[in-house]
Structure 1
Amino acid sequence: MKIKLEKIFELQRELDESLNDKVKSIGDENIDVKRIIALLVELGEFANEVKLFKYWKKQKALSYDKVYEECADVLHFISSIATKNNVKNEIEILIFNNDFSLQLAEVYKLFVQLLDNKNEDSILKAFGAFLGLTKIVNLDLKKIEDAYIRKNKINHDRIKNNY
């Protein structure tokens, strides 16, 4: 199944343009690496909210508000990487394994590979695998987009307020 993320990509381009002015003034030449590190950190925060990899704990009900918020953070960074590399906004949802932990491990591998290879295929595969992860935990695409839009506004406010 493919989904179009036109609105998310458009909003991400606008956010990145606002942020680029700030980053240029700092003069950060390692921004691409830092963007991928941030993506990995946010993926960890998303997984931490889903909790399904925590074999040592009794599973509790998910706090879907937090899960959607962390999902939006991951989307900000993967969308930023995609738009910066002129990737098309039509993403195929990829599920390699219906087990959350195994799919999560695959997403981590694909995200790490972006450090060495940011071509369109590798970005689409990484993006699609993350979307597959959201599907495994039954996240709603409309709610994902809504969470992204909310967080995008917060991020614009942060830029204006020198966060």
Structure 2
Amino acid sequence: MKTGLNLAVLFDMQEALDQHIRCKQNIPADADLVPYLVDALDVEIAELQNEVRYFKFWSADRNMRRETALREYVDGLHFFLSLGLAFGIPREFEPIPHHYDDIRKQFRALKRYVYIIEGPMQWYIAFNLFLGLGELLGFSWSEIARAYAEKKQDQP
């Protein structure tokens, strides 16, 4: 299934942002940030879960906060792209989103793979699950790309 994603453009934008952050924070170019990126991605996925609210059986308000969820999703995309750059994922990579029919299963599968990301293979699987999650949440690629570009404008 073709997603319409232009990952090359996103990878380029993310690479520029990552280089700016390294320079601003005096992080050596050869510093391995993968463990920190994985932890940050894990946190962003948890924040997304909190905005989706599917698990809050005790709450009278279990409706997803769509705009906030989209922002959290884009935050996760930033870290996925940074990890992809660190692992040398080809910019022409054509993802194949995968999703289950159950949002809980989707989050659990995604988190399982995020926990074990140490290289490209785990990244590919987790990224395809992440894209499938976006589909399950009803986010179109054009919305995701727009939100990514807007967030990028807010950053240097």
Shorter chain as normaliser: what TM range? Answer: 0.7 to 0.9
C-alpha distance after superposition, 1:2-24 (max 9, x if no partner): 4332221111111111112234x
Percent identical across equivalent pairs? Answer: 26
**8 Å CA contact retained: 1:53, 1:100:** no
Larger RCO (alpha carbons 8 Å, 6+ apart): 1
Give the CA deviation at 1:40: 0.4
1:13 aligns with 2:15: yes
- Which whole-Å CA distance do the structure 2 matches of 1:132 and 1:126 have between them? 10
Structure 2 counterpart of 1:99, one-letter code: D
Unaligned stretches of 5+ in structure 1?
Answer: 157-163
- Which whole-Å CA distance do the structure 2 matches of 1:132 and 1:26 have between them? 33
- Which whole-Å CA distance do the structure 2 matches of 1:103 and 1:69 have between them? 19
Q: Which residue of 2 aligns with 1:110?
A: 113
**8 Å CA contact retained: 2:52, 2:63:** no
**8 Å CA contact retained: 2:53, 2:63:** no
**8 Å CA contact retained: 1:92, 1:124:** no
Q: Which residue of 1 aligns with 2:51?
A: 49
TM-score w.r.t. the length of structure 2 is 0.87
- Which whole-Å CA distance do the structure 1 matches of 2:2 and 2:110 have between them? 17
Unaligned stretches of 5+ in structure 2?
Answer: none
TM-score w.r.t. the length of structure 1 is 0.84
Total equivalences in the alignment:
151
- Which whole-Å CA distance do the structure 2 matches of 1:68 and 1:61 have between them? 14
**8 Å CA contact retained: 2:44, 2:76:** yes
Q: Which residue of 2 aligns with 1:72?
A: 74
Q: Which residue of 2 aligns with 1:160?
A: none
